[in-house]
């Protein structure tokens, strides 16, 4: 039986809030830092964030709240930026840039002026003294995010929630947080099949196997700061390392192809893995080697192309993969169409197993 596709009127969502109740409490026992990452705008990321905050209030869980650094591309009339605005309860620790501090509806006690800069001022680390709405922001890179989260935890926070920006995959990087909540939904496509495929593809990529060859891993990590392509070969039991004067594989596939020989085992690419990077590498050579990436956020290959490449022998490993703690699904699209919740959830759960999946409309 084919899944029912979008209906443009009379969409019905079954509200079963109990399915989501207690999720934060469960996750807080497993993770200290959790990023909420949207696959697209209007996928329900903010709804998920707000629900987790509400649940924390009910369960007396002390939260730290921060966000990805924003670059001001999406502007509003007040600040020139598009900052998430969330309702925070007393006791919450939050990062707020100086230019947004005065705009907060909540009463904020400044604990520290950090050294982290944003486009709209230095970041302030604050404790909510009086509950209310706050516009949040965070450091612009993953290293500073990790430091900020550590500082929040040192202040007594039980869990840090990071509000991930749209189309910024780096926020899902494993060094940013212990795990992610992935927000997806009808906004991705007008067909349930496509929504499920794209979501499952992302989950699959995030769970790619980690490089377990310790010697090869050591050789890559010794050269990783050079941000150059690394080729590892093994001849007569002896490993040989070639560091190419290439920071990226984009446009360099003919050169890479020439450097791969019968003794090549691993090809480490520090930047993005795209179709362009693989374009001129001989298919038979690709079958014999393993491509290694820093983490899955470096992959920019669509579902169908990925499947075709894998069938031809593509084998990709990562130094660190990404734990998906839960998936939230929004059956509604701003384009005016929607899916029936129970159908969408059934199709999603049939493909993605062992990960909690909830409808964001069931949270409200």
pLDDT tens digits, 88-110: 999 999 999 999 899 899 999 99
User: For residues 319 and 292, is the Cβ–Cβ distance under 8 A?
Assistant: yes
**Separation in Å, CA 21 to CA 18, 167, 341:** 5, 28, 18
Query: For residue 89, is it within any domain?
Result: yes
Query: For residue 141, is it within any domain?
Result: yes
Same domain, 307 and 343: no
Query: For residue 47, is it within any domain?
Result: yes
pLDDT at 57: 87
| Listed residue (120, 145, 125) closest to 68, CA to CA | 145
Same domain, 93 and 70: yes
Burial class (CB in 10 A: 0-12, 13-18, 19+), 87: middle
User: For residues 176 and 318, is the Cβ–Cβ distance under 8 A?
Assistant: no
Same domain, 81 and 183: yes
User: Within the chain, which residues score under 70 in pLDDT?
Assistant: 1-22, 69-85, 165-172, 363-364
Same domain, 191 and 62: yes
In the three-class reduction of DSSP (H, G, I as helix; E, B as strand; rest coil), residue 287 is classed as helix
Helices (H) and strands (E) in the chain, counts: 11, 16
Query: For residue 1, is it within any domain?
Result: no
Same domain, 328 and 243: no
| Listed residue (270, 247, 244) closest to 257, CA to CA | 244
**Nearest-10 crossing angle of helices 303-311, 192-206:** 60
In the three-class reduction of DSSP (H, G, I as helix; E, B as strand; rest coil), residue 351 is classed as helix
Burial class (CB in 10 A: 0-12, 13-18, 19+), 24: buried
We report the CATH number of the domain holding residue 333 as 3.40.50
Q: What are phi and psi of 306, to 5 degrees?
A: -60, -45
Q: What are phi and psi of 279, to 5 degrees?
A: -50, -50
Query: For residue 284, is it within any domain?
Result: yes
Which token pair is 268? 């480490």
User: For residues 12 and 331, is the Cβ–Cβ distance under 8 A?
Assistant: no
Q: Report d(CA 229, CA 268) in Å as an integer.
A: 6
Same domain, 124 and 46: yes
Query: For residue 62, is it within any domain?
Result: yes
Same domain, 197 and 219: no
Same domain, 311 and 337: no
User: For residues 112 and 123, is the Cβ–Cβ distance under 8 A?
Assistant: no
| Listed residue (356, 323, 331) closest to 20, CA to CA | 356
Q: Report d(CA 266, CA 164) in Å as an integer.
A: 32
Query: For residue 5, is it within any domain?
Result: no
Same domain, 266 and 123: no
pLDDT at 29: 82
Same domain, 85 and 170: yes
Query: For residue 161, is it within any domain?
Result: yes
Same domain, 228 and 144: no
Number of domains present in the structure of the chain: 2
Name the one residue in this structure whose structure tokens are 């947080």: 177
pLDDT at 363: 58
Structural domain boundaries, residue 141: 17-207+322-362
Same domain, 170 and 242: no
**Separation in Å, CA 363 to CA 18, 22, 53, 57, 358:** 8, 11, 12, 15, 8
pLDDT at 364: 53
């Amino acid at each position: 039986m084919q899944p029912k596709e979008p209906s443009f009127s009379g969409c019905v969502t079954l509200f079963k809030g109990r399915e989501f109740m207690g999720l934060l409490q469960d996750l807080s026992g497993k993770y200290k830092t959790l990023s909420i990452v949207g696959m697209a705008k209007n996928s329900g990321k903010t709804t998920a964030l707000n629900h987790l905050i509400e649940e924390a209030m009910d369960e007396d869980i002390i939260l730290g709240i921060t966000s990805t650094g924003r670059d001001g591309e999406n502007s509003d009339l007040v600040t020139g930026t598009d900052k998430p605005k969330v309702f925070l309860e007393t006791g919450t620790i939050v990062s707020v840039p100086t230019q947004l501090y005065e705009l907060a509806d909540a009463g904020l006690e400044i604990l520290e002026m950090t050294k982290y800069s944003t486009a709209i001022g230095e970041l302030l680390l604050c404790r909510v003294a009086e509950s209310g709405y706050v516009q949040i922001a965070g450091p612009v890179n993953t290293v500073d995010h990790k430091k900020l989260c550590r500082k929040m935890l040192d202040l007594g926070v039980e869990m840090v929630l990071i509000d991930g920006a749209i189309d910024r995959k780096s926020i899902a990087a494993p060094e940013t947080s212990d795990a992610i909540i992935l927000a997806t939904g009808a906004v991705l496509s007008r067909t349930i099949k496509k929504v499920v495929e794209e979501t499952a593809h992302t989950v699959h990529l995030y769970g790619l196997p980690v490089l377990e060859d310790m010697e090869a891993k050591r050789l890559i990590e010794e050269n990783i700061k050079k941000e150059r392509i690394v080729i590892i070969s093994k001849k007569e039991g002896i490993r040989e390392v070639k560091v190419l004067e290439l920071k990226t594989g984009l446009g360099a596939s003919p050169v890479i192809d020439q450097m791969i020989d019968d003794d090549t085992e691993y090809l480490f690419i520090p930047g993005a893995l795209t179709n362009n990077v693989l374009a001129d590498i001989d298919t038979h050579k690709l079958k014999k080697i393993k491509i290694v990436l820093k983490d899955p956020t470096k992959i920019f290959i669509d579902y169908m192309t990925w499947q075709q490449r894998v069938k031809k022998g593509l084998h990709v490993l990562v130094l660190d993969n990404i734990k998906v703690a839960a998936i939230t699904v929004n059956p509604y699209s701003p384009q005016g169409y929607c899916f029936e919740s129970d159908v969408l959830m059934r199709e999603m759960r049939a493909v993605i197993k062992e990960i909690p999946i909830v409808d964001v409309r069931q949270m409200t």
